[in-house]
Chain A
Amino acid sequence: MKDILQIEHLTHTYGAGTPFQRNAVEDLSFTVKEGEFLGIIGHTGSGKSTLIQHLNGLLKPTAGRILLDGKDIWAEPKKIRDVRFRVGLVFQYPEYQLFEETVYKDIAFGPINQGKTGEELDRCVRTAAKLVGLKSEALDKSPFELSGGQKRRVALAGVIAMEPEVLILDEPTAGLDPAGRENLMANIRDFHRNRGGTVILVSHSMDEIAQNVDRILVLKSAHILMDGAPRQVFARGQELIAAGLDVPQVTRVAMALRDRGLPIDPAVYTVEELKRALLNLRKEGAAC
């Protein structure tokens, strides 16, 4: 798998030259492989939103480079808009950005800016709508007639319709109820599987990240604290907790069981896995 995104020594300074100067991200380096499902977790203020806005060229690095498919995205500053079509970014509470008369037109906004027309445009819009679970009847309605969850899907479709190679989602399930959350994450998982694109999920919820991603990047105070597969990250559960972050509740249970003397791998992070581990223990116990 090739590296679709390479971040090299990225630093971003806000308020340079004023008494409020601070580095939102400092000397960050990591790569994202094509087709990966990456999770980024960190507190408010850890640099998450600054980082993702660099990936699609909304923010310019104070130092360092961002390479998309091997090429520096700022090599031709006038063409930075093209990067935004290839790296799609969905902000938090994206339903607040809807503005068109119909759902169809709103979803089409991105592709039209891209230069798509006619049949290709229609295909992009309809495919995107289907991918997020919107029925075709919804396409002719005004976006403001829809429920909050529906509106969010429209906003998501609007970015997917640009057919980006990388899709970045900032807290896509924020404010949704459990059923809504599960539904949306299922759509996103399907998108990842079927389109084979790269997905980057930014979240506060360790549980949500644990259940969905191949790899986790933990940010703390403008730096990368950890970078690895979920198992590797949660094995350092104590460190995460000490850094003020959370671990999935299941992992906490596993850690608590370990404290009580049971031989449980503390890097367990799904209910299914812990259940199996415990059932195995029971079998072994019975065999004694």
Chain B
Amino acid sequence: MLKDITLGQYFPGNTPAHKLDPRTKILLVVIYIVALFCAKSFLSYGLVALTLFACVRVSKVGLKALVRGLKPVVIIILFTAVLNLFFTPGQVLFQLGFLKITDAGVSNALRMVLRIMLLIMGTFLLTYTTSPISLTDGLERLLNGLKNFHVPVHELAMMMSIALRFIPTLIEETDKIMSAQKARGADFESGNLFEKAKALIPILVPLFISAFRRADELATAMECRCYHGGEGRTKLHVLRYERRDYAALISGVVIAAAVITLGRLEL
């Protein structure tokens, strides 16, 4: 049951979006977010949305998957909508008791909701088309320069990729431990919040102990395969920019510039 969670929801594929260098995609997402937050008018939002949907088409993400990606943040969206709708000063359109809906409120709410949705969908697209390993590789290369400032870039990237690799394994183990404790009569459903939290101890303690044991064994195994830190390491897959990466980056920058300009010109 828990096994069905695919973190980040990566789906392997052969689309142009999949083939882009992960660094390009990370940079594009950063540019996208900047543009999104600089967008003011509905025109600029429209431009961003249009770009997003073009990317969606290119990466062949199904619309259903995209909508599913919004599920976790439904509450935030609703909360933001409500906040903006009822608490923005302006010309009153509708009144219910002390609750006022203003024209500015409607406009703001719409824009904020759009912003959140576009933000989530944009990052969703990133994780959809880029495997966790590529992401960490890309991040590691991008942040390489920080090594000069004594930031342990390689170690952080290694930690991240090992953590990602162990997520499905730990989920499987949690399942097993839960079944074993249920077989001894453990009850994870009933009781108040406090009782439910207490019921998690028989799962968390063995899980933690197991995680430490795994880490120990893995470290030994890594050393036996001559791991000695980041010095002198080469890679099986070397990241290389291709023409399409430059094309994508340039388009991204141009669109972002357009959006920012629109904002400046108050269009």
Q: A91-B176, A91-B179, A91-B180 are in contact. Are A97 and B206 (CB under 8 A)?
A: yes
Q: Check: B185 CB closer than 8 A to any chain A CB.
A: yes
B181, A97: Cβ atoms under 8 Å? yes
The distance in angstroms between the C-alpha atoms of A97 and B185, with both chains bound, is 13
A96, B183: Cβ atoms under 8 Å? no
The distance in angstroms between the C-alpha atoms of A96 and B205, with both chains bound, is 10
The distance in angstroms between the C-alpha atoms of A85 and B202, with both chains bound, is 17
Q: Check: A30 CB closer than 8 A to any chain B CB.
A: no
Count of interface residues, chain A, beta-carbon cutoff 8 Å: 23
Set of chain B residues within 8 Å of A97, measured between Cβ atoms: 177, 180-181, 202, 206
Q: Check: A236 CB closer than 8 A to any chain B CB.
A: no
B206, A113: Cβ atoms under 8 Å? no
Overall SS of chain A's interface:
helix
Set of chain A residues within 8 Å of B184, measured between Cβ atoms: 84, 109-110, 113, 158-159, 162
The distance in angstroms between the C-alpha atoms of A48 and B227, with both chains bound, is 40
A81, B187: Cβ atoms under 8 Å? yes
A58, B179: Cβ atoms under 8 Å? yes
Set of chain A residues within 8 Å of B187, measured between Cβ atoms: 81, 113
Q: Check: A41 CB closer than 8 A to any chain B CB.
A: no
The distance in angstroms between the C-alpha atoms of A89 and B182, with both chains bound, is 10
The distance in angstroms between the C-alpha atoms of A231 and B179, with both chains bound, is 35
B206, A159: Cβ atoms under 8 Å? no
Which A residues, 66 to 95, have Cβ-Cβ distances below 8 Å to chain B?
Answer: 81, 84-85, 88-91, 94
B177, A96: Cβ atoms under 8 Å? yes
B185, A98: Cβ atoms under 8 Å? no
How many CB-defined contacts (below 8 Å) exist between A and B? Answer: 53
Per-residue CB contact flags for chain B residues 79-102 toward chain A (1 = under 8 Å, else 0) read 000000000000000000000000
Q: Check: B210 CB closer than 8 A to any chain A CB.
A: yes
A96, B179: Cβ atoms under 8 Å? no
Which B residues, 167 to 207, have Cβ-Cβ distances below 8 Å to chain A?
Answer: 173, 176-177, 179-187, 201-202, 205-206
The distance in angstroms between the C-alpha atoms of A32 and B167, with both chains bound, is 39
User: Least Cβ distance of A57 to chain B in Å?
Assistant: 9
A91, B183: Cβ atoms under 8 Å? yes
User: Least Cβ distance of A165 to chain B in Å?
Assistant: 15
Set of chain A residues within 8 Å of B176, measured between Cβ atoms: 91, 96
A109, B202: Cβ atoms under 8 Å? yes
Set of chain A residues within 8 Å of B186, measured between Cβ atoms: 109, 113
Set of chain B residues within 8 Å of A53, measured between Cβ atoms: 179
Q: Check: B209 CB closer than 8 A to any chain A CB.
A: yes
User: Least Cβ distance of B34 to chain A in Å?
Assistant: 39
Set of chain A residues within 8 Å of B173, measured between Cβ atoms: 96
Set of chain B residues within 8 Å of A191, measured between Cβ atoms: none
A96, B202: Cβ atoms under 8 Å? no
Set of chain B residues within 8 Å of A99, measured between Cβ atoms: 201-202, 205-206
B177, A56: Cβ atoms under 8 Å? no
Set of chain B residues within 8 Å of A109, measured between Cβ atoms: 181, 184-186, 202
Q: In chain A, what residue has the closest Cβ to B210?
A: A96
Which A residues, 16 to 48, have Cβ-Cβ distances below 8 Å to chain B?
Answer: none
Contact of A89 among B183, B201, B202, B206 (CB under 8 A): B183
Q: Check: A150 CB closer than 8 A to any chain B CB.
A: no
User: Least Cβ distance of B49 to chain A in Å?
Assistant: 32
The distance in angstroms between the C-alpha atoms of A94 and B210, with both chains bound, is 12
Q: In chain A, what residue has the closest Cβ to B205?
A: A99
Q: In chain B, what residue has the closest Cβ to A109?
A: B184
User: Least Cβ distance of B141 to chain A in Å?
Assistant: 36
User: Least Cβ distance of B70 to chain A in Å?
Assistant: 22
The distance in angstroms between the C-alpha atoms of A114 and B185, with both chains bound, is 7
User: Least Cβ distance of A89 to chain B in Å?
Assistant: 4
User: Least Cβ distance of B168 to chain A in Å?
Assistant: 16
B185, A162: Cβ atoms under 8 Å? yes
Q: In chain B, what residue has the closest Cβ to A56?
A: B183
B182, A98: Cβ atoms under 8 Å? no
Contact of B183 among A98, A114, A159 (CB under 8 A): A159
User: Least Cβ distance of A220 to chain B in Å?
Assistant: 24
The distance in angstroms between the C-alpha atoms of A53 and B180, with both chains bound, is 10
Q: A53-B179, A96-B206, A98-B206 are in contact. Are A110 and B201 (CB under 8 A)?
A: no
The distance in angstroms between the C-alpha atoms of A89 and B202, with both chains bound, is 17
Q: A97-B177, A99-B202 are in contact. Are A144 and B183 (CB under 8 A)?
A: no
Q: A84-B184, A97-B181 are in contact. List 19 more A-B contacts (CB 8 A).
A: A53-B179, A56-B183, A58-B182, A58-B183, A81-B185, A81-B187, A84-B183, A85-B185, A91-B176, A96-B176, A96-B177, A96-B210, A97-B177, A97-B202, A99-B205, A109-B185, A109-B202, A158-B184, A162-B185
Q: List 24 A-B contacts (CB under 8 A).
A: A53-B179, A56-B183, A58-B179, A58-B182, A84-B183, A84-B185, A85-B185, A88-B183, A89-B183, A91-B180, A96-B206, A96-B210, A97-B206, A98-B206, A99-B202, A109-B184, A109-B185, A109-B202, A110-B184, A110-B185, A113-B187, A158-B184, A159-B184, A162-B185
Instruction: Give me the 8 closest cross-chain CB pairs, A-B, nearest first.
Output: A113-B185, A99-B205, A110-B184, A97-B180, A89-B183, A99-B202, A91-B180, A99-B206
